[in-house]
C-alpha cells in the first residue's frame, strides 16, 4: 500500500510581536544648552553649512520634521532674497497656520548655505549636498540619521535616545525651564492645548519626580 500523501497542517497565524514590547518607550531626550553649543561649534569648524543650517532652523523653529523638510527658499526669504526674521506656514499635521522665528546666527548660516548651493526661490532649502540630490528633499530617515550623528558630536552616552523630535523638544523644554510658562511654549510649538504641550514635554512626570525626591525615606 502506497503511503498516503501528507496533508500539511494548517499554518497557525502568529500574532505579530509589538516592536516595543518589553521596551521603555517615551519622549525622546532633548539636548542641553551645552550640547547645542557643542554641536554648533563642531559643525561650524567642519564648515558643514547645510547641516548647521538645518540644525539651527530645527532648534529655532521647533517645527516637526514633515514641515521643516518641505520648506522652500521662498518660504524663508523676502522678495530681495534676504532671510526673514519670522515666517508663517500651514502645519501638515494639524492644518493650522503657525508662525516661527529664526535667530540671527541661524539666519546667517542659512544665507551662507543658500549662497553656496545656489538655491533659487522655488528650490527646497534642505536637500542633498550635490547634484542631483541637491534638488531633492531630505527624507525623514536621512534627517533622523543626521540627528544621531549630531548627538554623537555632543558626546551623549546613548545617541539612540535622540530623534528628530529631540530637536523640536529642545528649545521648548529650555523655554519652559526658564519661564515655567506653558502657554508660551504651547504657542511656540503650534499646539492646540496646554494638555498636549504638557504631555509632549512630560511635565507632569517631571514634577512628580521632583516632588518625590523631597520625600526620601
Query: 211 vs 55, which has greater pLDDT?
Result: 55
Determine the average pLDDT of the residues in 28-43.
95
Average pLDDT of the chain, as a whole number: 87
Q: What is the pLDDT of residues 130-140, one digit of tens each?
A: 888 999 999 99
Is the pTM value of this prediction over 0.85? Answer: no
pLDDT band, residue 209 (cuts 50/70/90)? low
Determine the average pLDDT of the residues in 131-152.
94
Q: With contact defined as beta carbons under 8 Å apart, do 86 and 101 qualify?
A: yes
Residue 87 confidence (pLDDT): 97
pLDDT band, residue 107 (cuts 50/70/90)? very high
Q: Which of the residue ranges 15-19, 66-70, 133-137, 203-207 would you say has the lowest mean pLDDT?
A: 15-19
CA-based angle 168:170:175, to the nearest 5? Answer: 110
On the question of pLDDT at 192 being above 70, the answer is: yes
Q: What is the pLDDT of residues 118-133, one digit of tens each?
A: 999 999 999 999 888 9
CA atoms of 39 and 136, how far apart (whole Å): 25
CA dihedral 194, 211, 26, 159 (to 10 degrees): 120
Grid cell listed for 209: 519626580
Residue 199 confidence (pLDDT): 87
Amino acid at each position: 500500500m502506497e503511503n498516503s500523501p501528507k496533508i500539511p497542517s494548517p499554518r497557525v497565524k502568529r500574532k505579530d510581536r509589538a516592536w516595543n514590547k518589553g521596551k521603555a518607550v517615551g519622549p525622546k531626550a532633548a539636548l542641553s544648552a551645552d550640547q547645542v553649543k557643542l554641536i554648533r561649534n563642531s559643525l561650524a569648524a567642519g564648515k558643514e553649512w547645510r547641516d548647521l543650517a538645518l540644525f539651527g532652523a530645527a532648534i529655532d523653529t521647533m517645527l516637526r520634521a514633515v514641515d521643516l523638510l518641505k520648506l522652500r527658499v521662498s518660504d524663508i526669504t523676502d522678495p530681495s532674497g534676504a532671510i526673514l526674521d519670522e515666517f508663517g506656514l500651514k502645519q501638515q499635521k494639524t492644518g493650522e497656520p503657525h508662525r516661527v522665528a529664526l535667530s540671527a546666527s541661524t539666519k546667517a548660516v542659512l544665507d551662507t548655505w543658500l549662497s553656496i548651493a545656489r538655491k533659487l526661490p522655488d528650490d527646497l532649502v534642505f536637500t542633498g549636498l550635490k547634484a542631483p540630490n541637491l534638488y531633492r528633499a531630505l527624507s525623514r530617515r536621512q534627517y533622523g540619521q543626521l540627528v544621531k550623528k549630531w548627538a554623537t558630536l555632543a558626546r551623549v552616552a546613548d545617541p539612540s535616545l535622540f530623534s528628530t523630535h529631540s530637536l523640536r523638544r529642545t528649545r521648548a523644554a529650555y523655554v519652559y525651564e526658564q519661564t515655567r510658562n506653558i502657554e508660551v511654549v504651547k504657542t511656540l510649538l503650534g499646539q492646540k492645548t496646554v494638555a498636549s504641550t504638557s504631555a509632549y514635554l512630560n511635565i507632569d512626570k517631571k514634577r512628580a519626580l521632583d516632588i518625590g525626591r523631597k520625600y526620601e525615606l
